[in-house]
């Protein structure tokens, strides 16, 4: 489905009033997927408010925060997909999967919660270095204390060097979570969209049978709606399992029922990776 480019769409884009009609059309065409996706969201929200993280537990606090981030991303994917923005929802799915890597590692690997928190010093140092590399007019406009930033950076470098600390990269966290399969497949594909790689641009071009570009595609579309909702559900299922196990939330029967529905839809989808 490609929405007709009306005068309203030309002037207001995805904020045009007819987006309501797009929502109705897309939800009608993919009712089964939206059904399981929203039911999982409802269950996920109940689980969120059933959590009781202890303030003294880094692990429980991190899992709760990361879980909330995953749940919000899942709901964002629904909102974008129903409005014909499934391709853009992939950016959200990528960020969601990074949070899933972290929640699994924090929940299941002894001591990783503290390592994850300490890694923020590397992020802080990287941010300071970025500020210090700003053009002079930027530094002046923002009133940055360059001397103070340099002192803080030096202190952080000395601290990290003394500990022999290395920055945690997404690949490292995925490995800790034992999710290298996800990292080297779906995460790699989602990164193409997030980083605006040329390989991903074909989806925005109208290419004729002769291989020549006839024009651009811009506007509401149902392209990849099923893929985006499938990914978001899979990621939230993983996060749900971690949260339920850690916080002892009674939701097993509901999870199993939704998992069965989810898999019944998966069986109807092609399984090849897009390369």
In order of 34, 89, 225, 252, 259, the CA distances from 262 in angstroms are 11, 19, 15, 15, 5
Q: Is residue 272 part of a domain?
A: no
Q: Is residue 93 part of a domain?
A: yes
Cβ atoms 109, 176 nearer than 8 A:
yes
- Tens digits of residue pLDDT in 149-172: 999 999 999 999 999 999 999 999
Residues 124 and 146 in one domain: yes
Q: Is residue 275 part of a domain?
A: no
Residue 4: which pLDDT band, with cuts at 50, 70 and 90? low
The span from the CA of 99 to the CA of 53, in Å, is: 18
Residues 204 and 129 in one domain: no
Q: Is residue 273 part of a domain?
A: no
Q: Is residue 274 part of a domain?
A: no
Half-sphere exposure of 146 toward its Cβ, with a 13 Å CA cutoff? Answer: 10
Residues 27 and 161 in one domain: no
Q: Is residue 271 part of a domain?
A: no
The residue-averaged pLDDT of 188-200 equals 84
Give me the pLDDT at residue 217, please. Answer: 81
66-71-76-81 Cα dihedral, nearest 10 degrees: 130
Q: Is the pLDDT assigned to residue 275 strictly greater than 70?
A: no
Residues 160 and 37 in one domain: no
Residue 3: which pLDDT band, with cuts at 50, 70 and 90? low
Residues 140 and 88 in one domain: no
CB atoms within 10 A of CB 99: 21
Burial label for 228, CB within 10 Å (0-12, 13-18, 19+), is buried
Residue 80: which pLDDT band, with cuts at 50, 70 and 90? very high
Average pLDDT value for the chain = 93
Q: Is the pLDDT assigned to residue 89 strictly greater than 90?
A: yes
Q: Is residue 95 part of a domain?
A: yes
Residues 145 and 243 in one domain: no
Domain range for 127 is: 120-167
- Tens digits of residue pLDDT in 228-240: 999 999 999 999 9
Q: Is the pLDDT assigned to residue 131 strictly greater than 90?
A: yes
Residues 184 and 225 in one domain: yes
Residues 14 and 66 in one domain: yes
The span from the CA of 75 to the CA of 97, in Å, is: 14
Q: Is residue 172 part of a domain?
A: no
In order of 53, 66, 118, 212, the CA distances from 56 in angstroms are 9, 17, 16, 61
Q: Is the pLDDT assigned to residue 55 strictly greater than 80?
A: yes
In this structure, what token pair is assigned to residue 164?
């022999």
The residue-averaged pLDDT of 131-152 equals 96
- Tens digits of residue pLDDT in 208-266: 888 888 888 888 999 899 999 999 999 999 999 999 999 999 999 999 999 999 999 99
Domains identified in the chain, total number = 2
Residues 161 and 236 in one domain: no
Residues 68 and 186 in one domain: yes
Residues 32 and 127 in one domain: no
Residues 208 and 82 in one domain: yes
Block residue for tokens 């500020």: 131
């Amino acid at each position: 489905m490609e929405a007709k480019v009306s005068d309203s769409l030309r002037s207001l884009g995805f904020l045009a009033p007819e987006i309501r009609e797009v929502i109705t059309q897309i939800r009608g065409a993919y009712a089964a997927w939206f059904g399981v996706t929203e039911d999982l969201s409802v269950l996920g929200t109940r689980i969120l408010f059933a959590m009781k993280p202890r303030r003294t537990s880094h692990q429980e606090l991190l899992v709760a925060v990361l879980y909330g981030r995953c749940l919000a991303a899942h709901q964002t994917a629904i909102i974008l997909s129903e409005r014909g923005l499934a391709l853009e929802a992939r950016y959200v799915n990528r960020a969601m999967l990074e949070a899933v890597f972290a929640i699994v590692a924090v929940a299941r690997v002894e001591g990783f919660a503290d390592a994850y928190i300490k890694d923020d010093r590397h992020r802080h140092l990287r941010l300071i270095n970025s500020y210090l590399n700003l053009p002079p007019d930027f530094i002046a406009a923002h009133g940055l204390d360059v001397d103070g930033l340099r002192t803080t950076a030096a202190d952080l470098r000395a601290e990290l060097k003394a500990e022999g600390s290395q920055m945690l990269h997404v690949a490292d966290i995925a490995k800790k979570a034992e999710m290298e399969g996800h990292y080297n497949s779906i995460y790699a594909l989602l990164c193409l969209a997030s980083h605006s790689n040329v390989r991903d641009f074909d989806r925005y071009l109208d290419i004729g049978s002769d291989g020549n570009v006839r024009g651009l595609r811009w506007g509401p579309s149902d392209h990849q709606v099923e893929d985006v909702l499938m990914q978001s559900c899979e990621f939230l299922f993983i996060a749900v399992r971690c949260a339920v196990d850690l916080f002892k939330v009674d939701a097993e029967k509901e999870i199993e029922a939704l998992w069965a529905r989810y898999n019944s839809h998966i069986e109807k989808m092609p399984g090849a990776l897009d390369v």
